Structure 1
Amino acid sequence: MKKILTAIALLGFSIIGRAQNSKNLVPQIFEPGVISKGDYESHGTFTPSGDTLYFIKCTYDLKISAICVSYKRKGKWTDPEVASFSGKYMDADPFVAKDGQALYFMSNRPLKDGDPVKDDTDIWKVMMTKDGWGVPIRLDVPVNSEKDEYYPTLADNGNIYFGSTRDGGKGGSDIWCCKYQDGKYQPAENLGDAINTPYHDYEAFIAPDESYLIYNSSRPNGLKNLDFYISYKQNGVWTKAKKLPEPISSNSIDWSPKVTRDGKWFYFGSTRSTDPVTPKKADNMEQLNRKLQSANNGLSDIYIADFEAIKQALK
């Protein structure tokens, strides 16, 4: 038992690194200068072991977007590399399955390599082989449709949750679920009025046991732009969503919510900047370029915060 507890403690430490002392609601930038380094970084997903992070580097409009990977080796995160299956098309929203052997993501790639890119985005899956990641395959109907699908996350029972602009929704974008039964996905179900609104609701993280759902919404009672909301499943019914407290939700764009496998840490992307109200003057181009090309410059960085503190603040 002592060895098991020690392994769990080491797992939590291996994921957090520099954010290990953030036992409060104030999010910290994850690995500034290595992972968050002044480009547009967001939409991270850790492997179950906690020693590998997949995330995206992209332009603001996603015209260029690639899935990258960093590994924790000897206590330090490595410089990111482009994932073997990415770098050509607009790929985003990675999610690693519970066994670490499958990765789901969003892409506009065509069904046949060499054809024009698609006008809409679909959900794809790539499997790990003995030689690394294999060839991505597009998930079929009912997960994908002729409209946009994005940000897949999976519960431990295989049910897949995702955002879509497909017909039958409540607004511009809704959150849907396809249950996995008898080896195949069942017809997509809209999560209903407790989750979805006439506004944009998307990028949902489902708890491994489906006990809660955290997602983004542009509904007007938020702070500004996009805010995080949480809903709990009680007796099979989703409760009315509650906004996550400040400073988790902010006046900036906050998106791509996820919780580490051990349930300890909440991590997400945000365009917030924590520079002081009276910033330091850049006296020359070298200093200006350093500010422009560093984390905390107002482009998207990956942040991490104590999930237990968030849950306590919601009570």
Structure 2
Amino acid sequence: MSPRHFVLAACIAITFAAVPAARAASTGELLGPGVISTGLQETSAALSPDGQTLYFMRSDFAEADDTIMVSRRSGGFWSMPQVATFSGRWHDSEPTLAPNGNRLYFVSNRPVRAGAAPLMAEMSGHPFPGTNLWYVERLARGWSAPVHVEGALNDGAMIYNPSVAANGDIYFSAHRADSGKAYQIYVAHPQGDGYAAPVRQELGDIGVNRMDPAVDPAGRFLLYAGNEGDALGSADIYIVFRQPDGRWSKPEHLGGDVNSRMLENAPSLGPAFGELYVSSGRRDEMHFPKSRDDADSLRRRLQSPLNGSRNLWRFDISDVLRAHDIAR
């Protein structure tokens, strides 16, 4: 497990006081129970523009073995996920599609140069699999071979959860020289054949951990995971809006059912207006005494999607967006 995952799992400061929040979102829907969302860890949903193909990450509880999966929807049902053609050998995670669906970005510890050792990083003397940003291009026959993104964007080997705007801007979370002790959110603007040096986004106190950005394709708003002091759990989902001067607004804690007293992270936007996907560790409540288990009933419950593993959930935040004069 990388220091990033320790940060996500740690109990930061759980606050139960009433706090201002963005307007309530609709009740969540567990995505593909038993097929997409299982007793393993599923995070980082990436939907194709037509909403019929889903890429996501599946891993063990420690997230030591991450793989990118793909499933297709037909007749309202998701197919049994398969390993994506470009994944399955390395520590691959956090897929995201460009708005037009023709390029898929992900992070990986695969060697930057053929024949080299897998990428490693280190924080506080603790080595762990590093991550650089890669992408694959859509071809007539499927996806291309993975391409490494060159330049300062990949400095430090600790880049996570890319998200791409329609103008080519890439948002991501990372631990870099100007991140302080926590992770922060950055943007890299296209420049020539590559990208300019990443710029840290000013979202408040740099001592606060902020991760997993999901940018509106038009750049009007940005969602991320963190704890601005009013999170219900160790990390919740927040939203900021672009102001006339180009700066981001004060972070708003998403209300309704998006956040819980469990960990929420890895937000992503679906193709429909207000469609939000979130990874959540929410689980069935336990009440004691329970009906006495036998071996089979215990196994079924412990292996079910709502066993405390992270799953993919779908929400509707269209009311939140309309309240900020975003209609489409």
Q: Provide the residue aligned with 1:189 in structure 2.
A: 199
Q: Secondary structure at the match of 2:154?
A: coil
Superposed CA deviations along residues 185-220 of structure 1, whole A, max 9, x for unmatched, are 12211111x256312111000001100000011444
User: Are positions 1:123 and 2:161 aligned together?
Assistant: no
What letter matches 1:86 in structure 2?
Answer: S
Q: Secondary structure at the match of 1:288?
A: helix
Give me the identity figure in percent: 29
Alignment of 1:128-143 (within 5 A): 128-143=138-153
Superposed CA deviations along residues 60-99 of structure 1, whole A, max 9, x for unmatched, are 2221000000001233210000001111111111001122
Q: Provide the residue aligned with 2:188 in structure 1.
A: 178
User: Are positions 1:163 and 2:173 aligned together?
Assistant: yes
User: Are positions 1:240 and 2:250 aligned together?
Assistant: yes
Residues 39 and 314 of structure 1: CA distance in aligned 2, closer, same or farther (over 3 Å): farther
What letter matches 1:63 in structure 2?
Answer: A
Q: Provide the residue aligned with 2:104 in structure 1.
A: 103
Q: Provide the residue aligned with 2:214 in structure 1.
A: 205
**Range that drifts further, 231-240 or 267-276:** 267-276
Q: Provide the residue aligned with 1:19 in structure 2.
A: none
Return the alpha-carbon distance in structure 2 between the equivalents of residues 184 and 171 of structure 1. Answer: 28
Residues 52 and 195 of structure 1: CA distance in aligned 2, closer, same or farther (over 3 Å): farther
What letter matches 2:62 in structure 1?
Answer: D
Residues 282 and 64 of structure 1: CA distance in aligned 2, closer, same or farther (over 3 Å): farther
Superposed CA deviations along residues 12-63 of structure 1, whole A, max 9, x for unmatched, are xxxxxxxxxxx95321211101111221111111011100000111022221
Residues 279 and 207 of structure 1: CA distance in aligned 2, closer, same or farther (over 3 Å): farther
Would you say the 8 A contact 2:49–2:101 is kept in 1? Answer: yes
CA-CA distance at 1:123 after TM superposition: 0.9
Q: Which of 1 and 2 has higher RCO (CA within 8 Å, sep 6+)?
A: 2
Return the alpha-carbon distance in structure 1 between the equivalents of residues 322 and 68 of structure 2. Answer: 33
Would you say the 8 A contact 1:245–1:314 is kept in 2? Answer: no
Return the alpha-carbon distance in structure 1 between the equivalents of residues 88 and 31 of structure 2. Answer: 23
Residues 24 and 253 of structure 1: CA distance in aligned 2, closer, same or farther (over 3 Å): closer
User: Are positions 1:36 and 2:37 aligned together?
Assistant: yes
Count residues in correspondence. 292
Q: If the length of structure 1 is used for normalisation, what is the TM-score?
A: 0.86
Q: Provide the residue aligned with 2:285 in structure 1.
A: 275
Residues 286 and 205 of structure 1: CA distance in aligned 2, closer, same or farther (over 3 Å): same
**Range that drifts further, 149-158 or 114-123:** 114-123
Residues 295 and 182 of structure 1: CA distance in aligned 2, closer, same or farther (over 3 Å): same
What letter matches 2:279 in structure 1?
Answer: G
Q: Secondary structure at the match of 1:157?
A: coil
Would you say the 8 A contact 1:199–1:217 is kept in 2? Answer: yes
CA-CA distance at 1:168 after TM superposition: 1.5
Q: Provide the residue aligned with 2:224 in structure 1.
A: 215
Q: Provide the residue aligned with 2:75 in structure 1.
A: 74
Return the alpha-carbon distance in structure 2 between the equivalents of residues 24 and 196 of structure 1. Answer: 27
5+ residue gaps in structure 1?
A: 1-22
CA-CA distance at 1:311 after TM superposition: 4.3
Residues 179 and 231 of structure 1: CA distance in aligned 2, closer, same or farther (over 3 Å): same
CA RMSD in angstroms comes to: 2.2
Residues 38 and 241 of structure 1: CA distance in aligned 2, closer, same or farther (over 3 Å): same
What letter matches 2:282 in structure 1?
Answer: R
